[in-house]
Amino acid sequence: MEKPKLSDNFFLNRWQSMGYAFKGFFYLIRNEKAIQVHFSMSLIFIVLGFVFQLSFYEWLFQILALGLILSIEGLNTAVEEICDFIHPDFHDKIGKIKDISAGAVTFAALTGYISLILIYSSKIIALS
Ligand SMILES: Nc1ncnc2c1ncn2[C@@H]1O[C@H](COP(=O)(O)OP(=O)(O)OP(=O)(O)O)[C@@H](O)[C@H]1O
C-alpha cells in the first residue's frame, strides 16, 4: 500500500490531514463497540443537559468529561490495533500493554462519569 501524498501547500496539507482524522472519527463510531457505548452515553447526557438546563460552566465540564472519555477510548483502540498488528499471537508483554492502555481508559471513565454524577446530583438536590 502506497503512502498517500499530502499537498505541499500548508492549508491544503492541514485540510487533507483533517480529512484523515475525520475518517478515523467515523471509523471509531461505526466499528468500535466501546466507543459506541460512550458515544450513546454522550448523546443521552446531551439530552439530559437540555432537560436539566445546565449552566454555561456545567455544559463546559460535561463536554470536557465526555470528550476525555471518548478520546482516551479512541487512543486505547489505536493501541490495541498496533498490538494486534505487531504481534498477533498471545504474548505476556502485549497483554500488559493492552491492560495498561485499558487502565488509562478506566482513569478517564472514572474521572469523566464521576464529574457528570456530581453535576447531575447537584441539580437533583437543587430541585428537591
Ligand atoms: N495478544 C495478546 N496477548 C496477551 N494478552 C492479550 C492479548 N490480546 C488480549 N489480551 C488480554 O485480553 C485483554 C482484552 O484484550 P482485547 O484486545 O480483547 O481488548 P478488549 O478490552 O476486550 O477490547 P475492546 O476495547 O474492543 O473492548 C487484554 O487487556 C489483555 O489482558
CATH number of the domain bearing residue 87: 1.10.287.3610
Tell whether 1 is covered by a domain.
no
Tell whether 85 is covered by a domain.
yes
Residue to probe by mutation, ligand 1, list 82, 98, 105, most atoms within 8 Å of CB: 98
pLDDT reading at 73 higher than 90: yes
5 pLDDT tier (thresholds 50, 70, 90): confident
Q: Would the CA dihedral through 100, 94, 81, 33 be positive or negative?
A: negative
> Of ligand 1's atoms, which has the minimum distance to the CA of residue 32?
26
Cα 124 to ligand 1 centroid, rounded to whole Å: 38
For residues 77 and 31, is the Cβ–Cβ distance under 8 A? no
For residues 73 and 35, is the Cβ–Cβ distance under 8 A? yes
- Its ipTM equals 0.90
> How many domains is the chain built from?
1
Residue pLDDT, tens place only, 83-117: 999 999 999 999 999 999 999 999 999 999 999 99
- Whether ligand 1 lies within 6 angstroms of the CB of 91 is answered as yes
Q: What pTM was computed for the model?
A: 0.90
Tell whether 59 is covered by a domain.
yes
pLDDT at 117: 97
